[in-house]
A and B are shown apart, each in its own frame.
Chain A
Amino acid sequence: WVKFLQNIMATKTKRIYELKWNKPSDCFILTDTSRNIIALSDSPHTHRVEFTQLAADYKAVNLGQGFPDFSPPQFVQEAFCKAISGGPQMHQYTRAFGHPPLVKSLAKFFSRIVGQDIDPLEDILVTVGAYQALFCAFQGLIDEGDEVIIIEPFFDCYQPMVVMAGGKAVYVPLRPVKGSAILSSGDWVLSADELASKITPRTKAIVINTPNNPLGKVYKTEELQMIADLCIKHNLLCFSDEVYEWLTYDGAKHIKIASLPGMWERTVTVGSAGKTFSATGWKVGWAIGSGNIIKYMKTIHQNSVYHCATAAQEAVAHGFEREYQLFGTPESYFQQLPAMLHHKRKKLALCLESVGLQPIMPEGGYFMVTDISSVKVDLNDPNTKDELYDFRFVKWLVKEKGLATIPVSAFYSPEHSKEFDKYIRFCFVKEDSTLDAAEAILRKWSQKE
């Protein structure tokens, strides 16, 4: 923290500042005399960076970071190459709020699903990854002092984005139902009473993520309806992060909260070409919603990056055209990808069970969370003794077993992280050879016990 302060002081030499530890946000916040936030120290966000480095240092089999180690489907790769060799306009600026072929194909595709006539120019904003869509939503719609409800466990960027917009994060955890063995992400639920109790006159928005990262929960209609009822009753906005929308297993159905009555006009739905077409590096995402809300996000967009890369948008447009034609058929990538991942999900679950770990079968997404409380290991590293159990376990697992994962308490607020420090997250969207290597490590481990 001293170094952090020194760096701040080096640039801002002329003001009086106040430095406070902000417990809910788990960081230092520097404010000026008018209470405006100047800077934040490290947020939980940096844990992900820390663990990626650790995995690299120990040359571990990496089931930590969430991206495929296989290639995108042939048809999008071809579309990209075609775009690159297209006319010169493919390498120049396109429409700032989204390349026309892309917004048209997105509007056509999603109108059918949402049950709403989506206007390609008014109701869609194309962004640099879903990440930037979230950024525009928070920056454009959240003001100083606004409260934003975040459901835990949450994708780690939501919290710093709320804070950066001057808002206050209010957390509600998903909890495992009491009684029976927790076998599925469907067994983690939101208490309607607990959620309602968190709403105050200052609550501006609620952030939901379905399918959820890290748990893999796919919210059912009744659950979304409960959230929708509260949004309508208290006039809240809803930011719905649906980047894993095509990845559902065992017949779980992805439901869009924006399609429920009264929700279209208050919901921003975020999507990702990276997750849709297994091309996370392309950084093409979008926000879809009522033009009355999207227009504020456009103002942020036009004053931050203004345009997104043209060729990648052209390729994604072709991808959606193809999927529109093949929707619901076996050739659709949106059928094939979840089918392929279904088998990998099963493979990983069996490996984990074989060493006495208890996986929570995800109904959707890229990840599997595993309960590690039954495993007895000697975490005797003095360097980590002050850290939460799952952090210590993950570091031990990388160093001693060469297997990289992510601790789940990193996806919780400081006030709840201690309750959830017995879980770690695996990514199973990997080549079979990577999963085989993980299996070998786990088998060796269980044989030694």
Chain B
Amino acid sequence: MEVVILFCILLQHVMMSRHTHAKRIEGLDKNVWVAFTALAADPSVVNLGQGFPDIPPPSYVKEALAKAASVDRMNQYTRGFGHPSLVKALSQVYGKVYGRQIDPLKEILVTVGGYGSLFSAIQALVEEGDEVIIIEPFFDCYVPMVRMAGGKPVLIPLRLKSGKKTITSADWFLDPDELAGKFNSKTKAIIINTPNNPIGKVFTKDELQMIADLCIKHDTLCFSDEVYEWLVYRGHQHVKIATLPGMWDRTVTIGSAGKTFSVTGWKLGWSIGPEHLMKHLQTVMQNSLLVIEAVAQGLLLNYELMDQPECYFTSLADELEGKRDRLAAIVEEAGMTPVIPEGGYFMLVDVTALNQDLSHMDEDEAYDYKFVKWMIKEKKLAAIPVTAFVGEESTKDFEKYIRLCFIKQDGTLDAARSILKSWTKV
């Protein structure tokens, strides 16, 4: 009897293990957000971790959405390939920015968030065995998306110029020789992110030119993630690599309504590029027509106001610059060292000076992971560990940093200040 039972259990195990996943997701199940969002969800935690605003979006986009919802027809499917009002508005805004005519139906694709654009571009253009250069620190989805498409990520770190007292994101740079060494005949694409998440670096024209030269030399594509394009602070300028000579034809540029209008929960993004690349980007997933209309209206309104202070693209950057400076002061007060970002809404903070003893925690994790978990638990302040944005080899260079998000209400920043003040008093 026992033999029969054992056999049945064995057989069931063998049979159940047939319900295996597809190979394409092998090793891709871990995700820093899934882990840390859950920890930070406790309402008593001051959340400077995940990158979304707790400030309201401009009222006119909310109103546009409410108005759209009351039109019956707008609650049903839209046309399969691109909604005219939105792609037209995008071609107007970006036509002005790029200084070229952009075909709304052939050179623009609307997707489910900037995330969806990255997914579409990588799925369409990266294949088995292709190498894709990714600059560390990188928005964490680039690596799993490239791997899921069968590609091989090739990492190159931004390196810190040593010796300076006040560190800004401009002090992080790409070594030209090191970068050139990463390109070879298998290189299909390079992914750049400017302004960069998490450091906030805004790549200069010269830096982009250096990357462009290599792309042209090796006939490589460029995926340029520019979701934070409007959030650039005084003294800096956002440059689109696609506007450099020879680059339009090989670049897919990604944008986001969520970041542009502080409505990350709307999940609407777009890709812009030449027809011969764009036609391969399909999107399996469509957007809601309601959101499409509201974003289109928001874009048109700000198109009229572009270069004026009332333009949301400008006013949001102004508002955030104040918050950036405020958070930097708070961090310094607490004895830590901020890396002042030139753009985006994140700030890297070097926690070395606090000399926090975490030897009681899990040996296997990088210092910043341990630090953030401890900080959430003990100090009720949430951040994101920066080694989530780098490969294994670069862990040792980045594990002293945590990432703070400052697109938060003044009340939230004040609460963070209280926590940090009482911390250093101990």
Taken together as a complex, chains A and B put the C-alpha atoms of A295 and B23 apart, in Å, by 14
Taken together as a complex, chains A and B put the C-alpha atoms of A299 and B30 apart, in Å, by 8
Let me know if A303 and B66 touch, CB within 8 A. Answer: no
Let me know if B113 and A71 touch, CB within 8 A. Answer: no
A98 → chain B closest CB, angstroms: 12
List the A side residues contacting B16 at CB < 8 Å. 265
A304: nearest chain-B partner, CB-CB: B119
Let me know if B264 and A302 touch, CB within 8 A. Answer: no
Taken together as a complex, chains A and B put the C-alpha atoms of A11 and B278 apart, in Å, by 11
Partner of A95, one of B37, B81, B112: B37
Do A85 and B286 form a contact, CB below 8 Å, given A96-B34, A299-B29, A304-B119?
A: no
Asked if B6 is an interface residue, CB under 8 A from chain A, the answer is no
Let me know if B69 and A283 touch, CB within 8 A. Answer: no
Asked if B97 is an interface residue, CB under 8 A from chain A, the answer is no
Let me know if B286 and A129 touch, CB within 8 A. Answer: yes
Taken together as a complex, chains A and B put the C-alpha atoms of A91 and B28 apart, in Å, by 28
Let me know if B50 and A283 touch, CB within 8 A. Answer: no
Partner of B72, one of A70, A129, A307, A310: A70
Do A77 and B127 form a contact, CB below 8 Å, given A91-B265, A299-B28?
A: no
Asked if B349 is an interface residue, CB under 8 A from chain A, the answer is no
Partner of B78, one of A36, A281, A295: A281
Asked if A373 is an interface residue, CB under 8 A from chain B, the answer is no
A128 → chain B closest CB, angstroms: 4
Asked if A101 is an interface residue, CB under 8 A from chain B, the answer is no
List the B side residues contacting A89 at CB < 8 Å. 54, 265
Let me know if B276 and A309 touch, CB within 8 A. Answer: no
A133 → chain B closest CB, angstroms: 10
Among B143-151, B224-232, B413-421, the stretch in contact with A: B143-151
List the A side residues contacting B37 at CB < 8 Å. 95-96
Asked if B424 is an interface residue, CB under 8 A from chain A, the answer is no
Let me know if B34 and A139 touch, CB within 8 A. Answer: no
Interface digits, B94-119 against A, CB 8 Å rule (1 contact, 0 not)?
00000000000000000011011001
- Some 20 contacts from A to B, beta carbons below 8 A apart, are A36-B150, A89-B265, A92-B52, A128-B112, A129-B286, A131-B284, A140-B22, A141-B19, A142-B22, A165-B22, A266-B19, A279-B76, A281-B78, A282-B290, A299-B28, A302-B33, A303-B145, A304-B119, A305-B285, A309-B291
Do A281 and B29 form a contact, CB below 8 Å, given A69-B76, A91-B264, A128-B285?
A: no
Asked if A28 is an interface residue, CB under 8 A from chain B, the answer is no
A55 → chain B closest CB, angstroms: 12
Let me know if A305 and B286 touch, CB within 8 A. Answer: no
List the B side residues contacting A221 at CB < 8 Å. none
B286: nearest chain-A partner, CB-CB: A283
Let me know if B62 and A281 touch, CB within 8 A. Answer: no
Let me know if A84 and B66 touch, CB within 8 A. Answer: yes
For B70, B128, B267, B287, the residue with the greatest tally of chain A CB atoms inside 10 Å of its CB is B267
List the A side residues contacting B22 at CB < 8 Å. 139-143, 165-166, 296
List the B side residues contacting A282 at CB < 8 Å. 75, 288, 290
Q: What are the nearest 4 A-B pairs in CB distance?
A: A310-B265, A71-B72, A296-B21, A128-B285
B145: nearest chain-A partner, CB-CB: A303
B144: nearest chain-A partner, CB-CB: A303
Asked if B182 is an interface residue, CB under 8 A from chain A, the answer is no
Do A305 and B267 form a contact, CB below 8 Å, given A129-B285, A281-B288?
A: yes
Asked if A380 is an interface residue, CB under 8 A from chain B, the answer is no
Let me know if A302 and B34 touch, CB within 8 A. Answer: yes
List the A side residues contacting B56 at CB < 8 Å. 88, 91
Taken together as a complex, chains A and B put the C-alpha atoms of A85 and B57 apart, in Å, by 11
A128: nearest chain-B partner, CB-CB: B285
Partner of B19, one of A95, A237, A306: A237
List the A side residues contacting B277 at CB < 8 Å. 11
Let me know if A88 and B57 touch, CB within 8 A. Answer: yes
- Using a CB-CB cutoff of 8 Å, which residues 13-39 of chain A contact chain B? 13-14, 32, 34, 36, 38-39
Interface digits, B62-90 against A, CB 8 Å rule (1 contact, 0 not)?
10011001101111111111000000000
Taken together as a complex, chains A and B put the C-alpha atoms of A49 and B145 apart, in Å, by 29
Let me know if A293 and B267 touch, CB within 8 A. Answer: no
B114 → chain A closest CB, angstroms: 10
B45 → chain A closest CB, angstroms: 15
Taken together as a complex, chains A and B put the C-alpha atoms of A349 and B282 apart, in Å, by 38
Interface residues on B, range: 35 or more
Let me know if B264 and A304 touch, CB within 8 A. Answer: no
Let me know if A49 and B80 touch, CB within 8 A. Answer: yes
Interface digits, A272-286 against B, CB 8 Å rule (1 contact, 0 not)?
001000111111000
Let me know if B21 and A141 touch, CB within 8 A. Answer: yes
Partner of B75, one of A38, A65, A279, A306: A279
Let me know if A128 and B54 touch, CB within 8 A. Answer: no
List the B side residues contacting A278 at CB < 8 Å. 75
16 further interface pairs, Cβ-Cβ under 8 Å (given A91-B62, A303-B145): A10-B276, A12-B127, A14-B185, A49-B81, A52-B80, A71-B72, A84-B62, A88-B53, A139-B24, A141-B22, A143-B23, A235-B19, A296-B21, A303-B148, A308-B267, A309-B266
Asked if A341 is an interface residue, CB under 8 A from chain B, the answer is no
Interface residues on A, range: 35 or more
Let me know if B263 and A91 touch, CB within 8 A. Answer: yes
Taken together as a complex, chains A and B put the C-alpha atoms of A4 and B55 apart, in Å, by 47
Give the A-binding residues of B (Cβ under 8 A): 15-16, 18-19, 21-25, 28-29, 31, 33-34, 37, 50, 52-57, 62, 65-66, 69-70, 72-81, 112-113, 115-116, 119, 125, 127-129, 141, 144-145, 148, 150, 185, 219, 221, 262-267, 276-277, 279-280, 284-291
Asked if A94 is an interface residue, CB under 8 A from chain B, the answer is yes
Let me know if A281 and B74 touch, CB within 8 A. Answer: yes
Taken together as a complex, chains A and B put the C-alpha atoms of A89 and B409 apart, in Å, by 12
Do A303 and B265 form a contact, CB below 8 Å, given A81-B66, A280-B77?
A: no
Taken together as a complex, chains A and B put the C-alpha atoms of A350 and B203 apart, in Å, by 68
Interface digits, A303-327 against B, CB 8 Å rule (1 contact, 0 not)?
1111111111000000000000000
Let me know if B75 and A77 touch, CB within 8 A. Answer: yes
Let me know if A305 and B78 touch, CB within 8 A. Answer: no
Partner of B290, one of A39, A132, A281: A281
List the B side residues contacting A132 at CB < 8 Å. 284-285
Taken together as a complex, chains A and B put the C-alpha atoms of A140 and B26 apart, in Å, by 10
Let me know if B55 and A88 touch, CB within 8 A. Answer: yes
Let me know if A307 and B267 touch, CB within 8 A. Answer: yes
Do A311 and B285 form a contact, CB below 8 Å, given A165-B22, A299-B28?
A: no
Asked if A90 is an interface residue, CB under 8 A from chain B, the answer is yes
Let me know if B127 and A36 touch, CB within 8 A. Answer: yes
Let me know if A312 and B34 touch, CB within 8 A. Answer: no
Asked if A135 is an interface residue, CB under 8 A from chain B, the answer is yes
Asked if A197 is an interface residue, CB under 8 A from chain B, the answer is no
Asked if A300 is an interface residue, CB under 8 A from chain B, the answer is yes
Let me know if A144 and B276 touch, CB within 8 A. Answer: no
Let me know if B264 and A92 touch, CB within 8 A. Answer: yes
